[in-house]
A = this chain, B = another copy of it.
Amino acid sequence: MDIKILRMGHRPQRDQRITTHVGLVGRAFGANGLFLTSSDEKIKKSIDDVSSRFGGDFEVKVGVSWRSVLKNWSGLIVHLTMYGERLVDKSSELKSIDQDILVVVGAEKVPGRVYELADLNISVTNQPHSEIAALAVLLDRIYDGKQLKKHFDGQVKVVPSENDKKVKYLD
C-alpha cells in the first residue's frame, strides 16, 4: 500500500517548520512521499537530508498543482479537517483499506473543492489543534500502530535507551 501526503496552502515564511514536521511525520509513520503545492526547496532539502541519514525512500515533490494531484490519484483520498467525520467512527473502515491512500493536509484555508474531491473528510477530534498531530494519529489508525515498529535502513541508528543518547553510525 502506497500512502502519500499532499500538503496544501503552504506559505514559505510562516509554515516552513510546520510543513517540515508534516513531511517528517509522514516519513517516520510509514508514508512514502510528500507533494507540496509550493516551490519551497528548503522543505525538500530538510526532509531529504533526514532520509539520507536515517534511511527510507520517502520522496518529496515540490511545486505541484493540487488539482492535478487530486485528479490523477487512483486510490482513496482522505482529507484531514476538523469539520470532517470523526476518526473514531471511521477507524475500522480505514484499517481495512487496501488501496493507495492520498492524505490531504491543509494550512489555514482549504478550497471547498477539496472537500468534494476527497472520498473521506476526517476529523481527528472536532477541536482546533494541529495538522501534524492529525496526520500522526490517522496514520497510526491506518497502520494499527505497526508504523511505530517500522525499520529504517539508514546510516544513523538511534538505540532506545532508558536515560541516555545512544546512536550508532553504520557504514
B-binding residues in A (CB < 8 A): 14-15, 17-18, 21, 24-25, 27-29, 50, 54, 82-89, 115-116, 118, 121, 123-130, 132-133, 135-137, 140, 145, 147-150, 152, 157-167
Contact = CB atoms under 8 A, between A and B. Distances in A.
A130 B163 contact: no
Contacts of A116: 163
A158 B82 contact: yes
A159 to B, nearest CB: 8
A160 B83 contact: yes
Assembly of this chain: how many copies? 2
Given A17-B18, A25-B129, 12 more contacts: A18-B21, A25-B130, A28-B128, A54-B128, A83-B158, A86-B160, A118-B163, A121-B161, A123-B160, A125-B150, A126-B159, A132-B136
5 contacts: A15-B17, A18-B21, A21-B133, A28-B125, A127-B152
A17 B19 CA distance: 11
Given A125-B148, A137-B136, A24 B130 contact: yes
Contact of A133 (B17, B118, B132): B132
B123 A158 contact: yes
B18 A158 contact: no
Contact of A29 (B85, B121, B133, B147): B133
Contact of A50 (B21, B128, B160): B128
